[in-house]
Amino acid sequence: MVSKYVQEVIAKRIAGDIVMSNDYGPALRRWREVFNATQQELARIMGISASVISDYEKGRRSPGVKFLRRFVDALLLIDSKRDWAVVKQLARSLSINVGAILDARELSVPLSLSQLVDIVEGIVVNSYIPPSLELYGYTVIDSISAIETMSGNEFWQIMGTTSRRALIFTKVHLGRSPMIAVRVAPVKPAAVVFHGTRKVDPLAIKLADREGIPLILSIKEGTKELIDALRNATSQHL
């Protein structure tokens, strides 16, 4: 399985490459061939005829935004039926950790700390609660996969474009390892959320206070429910 985050990053890369190319037709054909899709297969999924695909690839038509979105979505759908073989390869070439980063978003309109707490059904468990806090993004991380697979340099990936974000760790046991990782990281998040536990290690709480980071314990039922809640609540903030 490939997370929505990885799918979106790859989709934007494909669309951007096509838009920025000097000639749309060859770019469309190249990406179709990268995904090992025939014109007939792609056309069937898009609900158009193969001759229309041919017209675009030969430059007889220019793709608009709607066509481009449908084109990229169709490529991803084809790849999903092949265990995401191409997307995983592209993610590796872009140094995207497929397993550790479950979701990430940058927000145009910030979230307050209280809004984040409500969304994740959480409670702040340490004593540091800033008088005002604006979050311009969040990253959801599989803490077990992160510990097993992420290098120190990949920490910059989870921070996205701004450090004014919440790092949300799932599959947390007691929270000591994630908080130690935050403690030694060169850049600190604005807030940390633990999901998957009902008890937080006192050392994690102590480190959060020392770093001046609110530490939130989420009791949301499952990881999918947590991600869905975040996406639904922040859609208007994009």
Which residues neighbour 47 within 8 Å (Cβ) at sequence distance 6 or greater?
A: none
For residue 206, the model assigns a pLDDT of 96
Q: How far apart are the first and last CA of the chain?
A: 25
pLDDT at 158 over 80: no
For residue 194, the model assigns a pLDDT of 97
* H-state helical runs in the chain: 4-20, 24-34, 39-46, 50-57, 65-80, 85-93, 113-119, 143-149, 155-158, 176-184, 202-211, 223-234
> Are 4-93 and 101-237 equal in CATH topology?
no
For residue 185, the model assigns a pLDDT of 81
C-alpha 203/C-alpha 208 separation (Å) is 9
pLDDT at 155 over 70: no
212-213-214-216 Cα dihedral, nearest 10 degrees: -150
- Domain coordinates in residue numbering, the chain: 4-93, 101-237
Helix 50-57, helix 24-34: angle, nearest 10 = 120
Alpha carbon 127 to chain centroid, angstroms = 30
Does residue 199 sit in helix, strand or coil?
A: coil
Work out the average pLDDT over 26-46: 97
C-alpha 76/C-alpha 71 separation (Å) is 9
CB 8 within 8 A of CB 77: no
pLDDT at 160 over 90: no
Q: Which residue has the tokens 């497929």?
A: 98
Does residue 47 sit in helix, strand or coil?
A: coil
Q: pTM of the entire structure? A: 0.76
User: Candidates 2.40.50.100, 1.10.3720.10, 1.10.260.40, 2.30.40.10; correct CATH number of 4-93?
Assistant: 1.10.260.40
pLDDT at 177 over 80: yes
For residue 181, the model assigns a pLDDT of 86
pLDDT in tens, 203-225: 999 999 999 999 999 999 999 99
Task: Identify the DSSP state of 188.
Answer: -
pLDDT at 25 over 90: yes
Confidence band for 24, pLDDT divided at 50, 70 and 90? very high
pLDDT at 159 over 90: no
For residue 154, the model assigns a pLDDT of 62
Q: Which of 170, 169, 208 is nearest to 190 (CA)?
A: 208
Work out the average pLDDT over 131-138: 92
Which residues neighbour 22 within 8 Å (Cβ) at sequence distance 6 or greater?
A: none
Query: Homologous superfamily of 101-237 in CATH?
Result: HprK N-terminal domain-like (3.40.1390.20)
Min mean pLDDT across 26-35, 98-107, 152-161 is at 152-161
